Amino acid sequence: MLKNDRPWFHGFKIFTFVWMIFVIIGSIKVAPEATGFVSTSRVVFFHVPVAWVAVLAFLVSAVFSIRYLRKKQMEDDIWASSSAALGFLFAILATVTGSMWAKHEWGSYWNWDPRETSIVILLLIYAAYFALRSAIDSQETKAQLSAVYSILAFVTVPFLIFVVPRVIFTLHPQNPIFTNEPKQRMTPSIRWVFFASLFGFTLVYYWILRLKVDIERIKQRMTEMEDKS
Amino acid sequence: MTSRSTLLHKAWYVFQKDLHQEFRTRYAINAIFLFAVTTLIVVSFSIGPAGLSAQVLSPLLWIIIFFSAMSGLSHIFVREEEQQTSDTLRLVAPANAIFLGKWLFNAVLLIGLEILIVPLYLIFMNLEVKNPGGFAAIILLGSLGVSTVATIIAAIISRASARGALFAVLSFPITLPILVSAIHGTGMAIAGRPMVEMMGDYQILFAFLVVIFTASVLLFEFIWII
């Protein structure tokens, strides 16, 4: 029943799989090394998309939280919490890949760069969100309170992105895509692979999100059946 | 016009009720003041003679303020749940009035604490503030923000178990923009920089206060009435 209602999803899975293979090949074979860096610059094809997905998952979670507060459908809570769980995973991936790159280029795994600070805050918010969920027994209360917290946290994030870099000096590469400096600009092939990777990781995110939502739905249905019997 | 005035009136009644209740037991006042004084003494005892710069002293002050707030400000809603008075409160006042009243109580408590703790800190640390006006303004704005976040998070955690640990965990990420700007601004005020240089910090603190206060008022109804 869960599978048959969306036959296009099979096509989507195959498409994502093939697309990601091309992204991986492209990032290693097609894109040239960035000037001034050794091969480490290739981390941009994985680190940035993963960080992008972490923020996107957070946005999706906040949108479904707002929907939950408006309509009070448990379905929306499943989407919000599943997306938050994925966001947590991708935020960890972004932290680890960034930290490894920082060790190579800046000489240390961690130096409280503003971007590092904001990803840590994102991790803390996700962790707090799940700590809150695990501390409440009733399903409705859990859904409602975590939705409120998710929105509150989402209101805070823009301040973190604008405030922290203003106060602390950053070494993190700033915006190499839209910059006007010709030297810092991405070359066309790097740019193509970069955007392909961004798109690919977004598809992967959607794929895992659907899986996670299905699992949560089945779990919920099982608890409902247990309650009845 | 009349509806607004009754809202504010009811908020004022909620505030007075909490004030009376607080002075009956003095739970929150004891917790927050003793915690702050203890932390202050620990900090000044361990690093006092070192003669640290403003860059270190201003974060320490805000760490003391933040954790003191975390030690006592959740009591305002936890008390209602523990004594099972929240249902009665739901009947007698609208959600907005309750939030405003409770927020006012927490803000007054935190600012009252700072009136005691900040001069003590300056004395213990042998610290001279070169721009006292800017210093006071940044502490006032920062603590209004902290008490807003603390009030809304207190309302959330009063419904959960393991409240004490959750309160700080949930509050910290949301308080962080306040802490970053307040620490930065306080350091500048201690060093005696002119107001113009601190304008950015004031703007961020004020903007964040407005945003988080509005969001809290809008969202409180969803926490309070489930």
Residues A219 and A68 sit within 8 Å (Cβ to Cβ): no
| Location of structure tokens 């006032």 | B140
Q: What ipTM did this prediction achieve?
A: 0.88
Q: Which two tokens stand for residue A64?
A: 């479904």
User: Concatenated DSSP letters for A22-51?
Assistant: HHHHIIIIISPPPTT--GGGGGHHHHHHHH
Supply the Cα-derived Rg of chain B in whole angstroms. Answer: 18
Q: What letter does residue B48 receive in the DSSP assignment?
A: G
Q: Does B44 touch chain A (CB under 8 A)?
A: no
Q: Which two tokens stand for residue B24?
A: 């009956």
pLDDT the model gives residue B48: 63
Report residue A226 CA to chain centroid gap.
34
Mean pLDDT split into 10-residue runs, chain B, 226 residues = 73 90 84 90 79 81 92 87 86 89 94 93 85 91 94 91 83 90 89 84 91 93 86
pLDDT the model gives residue B1: 46
> Which class for A58: exposed (0-12), middle (13-18), buried (19 or more C-beta within 10 A)?
buried
Using CA atoms, how far residue A189 sits from A31, A126, A183, A194, B157, in Å, is: 6, 35, 15, 8, 51
Whether B156 and A145 lie within 8 Å, measured CB to CB = yes
Q: Which two tokens stand for residue B134?
A: 């800017």
Whether B173 and A144 lie within 8 Å, measured CB to CB = no
With beta carbons under 8 A apart, name residues in chain A contacting B223: 144-145, 148
List the single residue in A127, A155, A164 with the smallest CB-CB distance to B211: A155
Residue B92's domain comprises: 2-224
pLDDT the model gives residue A39: 63
Q: Which residues contact A151 (CB under 8 A, 6 or more apart)?
A: A62, A65, A66, A69, B215, B219
Residues A74 and A220 sit within 8 Å (Cβ to Cβ): yes
Report residue B113 CA to chain centroid gap.
9
Q: Among B153, B159, B218, B224, pick the best mutation site for testing chain A contact (most A Cβ within 10 A).
A: B159
| Location of structure tokens 């929306």 | A76
Q: Which two tokens stand for residue A168?
A: 């602390």
- Candidates A64, A47, A56, A69; CA nearest to A157 is A56
Of all residues in chain A, the percent with pLDDT exceeding 90 is 32
List the single residue in A69, A149, A167 with the smallest CB-CB distance to B156: A149
With beta carbons under 8 A apart, name residues in chain B contacting A151: 215, 219
Q: Which of B:173-202 have CB within 8 Å of A?
A: 173-174, 176-177, 180-181, 184, 200
Task: Pick the more confident residue, A27 or A60.
Answer: A60
User: Concatenated DSSP letters for A153-212?
Assistant: HHHHHHHHHHHHHHHS---S---TTT-S-TTTSPPHHHHHHHHHHHHHHHHHHHHHHHHH
Tell me how close the Cα of B110 comes to any Cα of chain A, in angstroms.
Answer: 22
Q: Which of A:40-99 have CB within 8 Å of B?
A: 69
Q: Does B156 touch chain A (CB under 8 A)?
A: yes
The whole-angstrom separation of Cα A189 and Cα B3 is 63
pLDDT the model gives residue B126: 81
Q: Does B46 touch chain A (CB under 8 A)?
A: no
A172: left (phi over 0), alpha (psi -120 to 50) or beta: beta
Task: Render pLDDT for A164-209 as a digit per residue (tens, 0 to 9).
Answer: 666 655 556 655 554 545 555 567 777 788 888 889 999 999 999 9
**Is pLDDT at A1 greater than 50 in this prediction?**
no
Number of domains present in the structure of chain B:
1
Q: Does B172 touch chain A (CB under 8 A)?
A: yes
Whether B173 and A163 lie within 8 Å, measured CB to CB = no
| Location of structure tokens 């201003």 | B58
Q: Does B160 touch chain A (CB under 8 A)?
A: yes
Q: Among B172, B180, B224, pick the best mutation site for testing chain A contact (most A Cβ within 10 A).
A: B180
Q: What letter does residue B125 receive in the DSSP assignment?
A: T
